[in-house]
Amino acid sequence: MNFVEIEILEKKLKEITKLSLKQVKKIAFNLLNLSENEIFNLNQAISKARENIKKCKYCNSYTDKETCEICSDKKRSKKYLVVEKYDEVSKFEEIGIWNGRYFVLEGLLDTKTSQEIVNQNIINFVALAENVDEVVLALSSTLQGQLTMQQIKKLLLDKNKFKNVFTLSTGIPLAAEIEYIDPVTLKESLINKVKI
């Protein structure tokens, strides 16, 4: 049987999480089975996380302080790895070979839709990357990824006269998204980074 209320809940969950319908149906079913007390606790947990977790003022990573742990770490080199999403930072941290910093773009440029947040983040990054040694653009090899990389490269050159820009090596399949790449391939593609 289909209930409008459940369909609305599933639609909302799908919008928020970008998960498949099958996955959101499972979450919706679990939510419906929660007791009043469990709903209250879940609400509290969401509110607490929203209150205490914010974006790092330098790199857009999540942090419970003004500046994230990585940006505050003086031992990190003056290199930047630019990623699309927050969770890709932990993916690169796990492979353990990057000792520089990160910058989260929070999306990619698109020819069809206006991308105010991404555009602003690109401007912020170029300003931040004024005195750095190296920039690696670890973005997907999709059309949007390519477009974004070209734009960042152009601005780094125009504004900072900066040319030391790399991308991940071609070990990554065309149009692949970083989040679906296994750690071994990702590590290889970072080691064999290519200058653009």
Residues that bind Zn ion (CB under 5 A): 56, 58-59, 61, 68, 71
Q: Which is nearer to Zn ion, 59 or 129 (CB)?
A: 59
Task: Give the residue carrying structure tokens 């670890």.
Answer: 138
Q: Which residues contact 85 (CB under 8 A, 6 or more apart)?
A: 104, 106, 178, 179
Closest CB 100 distance from Zn ion, rounded Å: 12
Beta strand 79-83 with 101-104: parallel, antiparallel or unpaired? parallel
Q: Which is nearer to Zn ion, 103 or 162 (CB)?
A: 103
Closest CB 20 distance from Zn ion, rounded Å: 32
Q: Which is nearer to Zn ion, 127 or 191 (CB)?
A: 127
Closest CB 67 distance from Zn ion, rounded Å: 6
Q: Which is nearer to Zn ion, 28 or 83 (CB)?
A: 83
CB of 57 closer than 8 Å to CB of 112: no
Closest CB 103 distance from Zn ion, rounded Å: 8
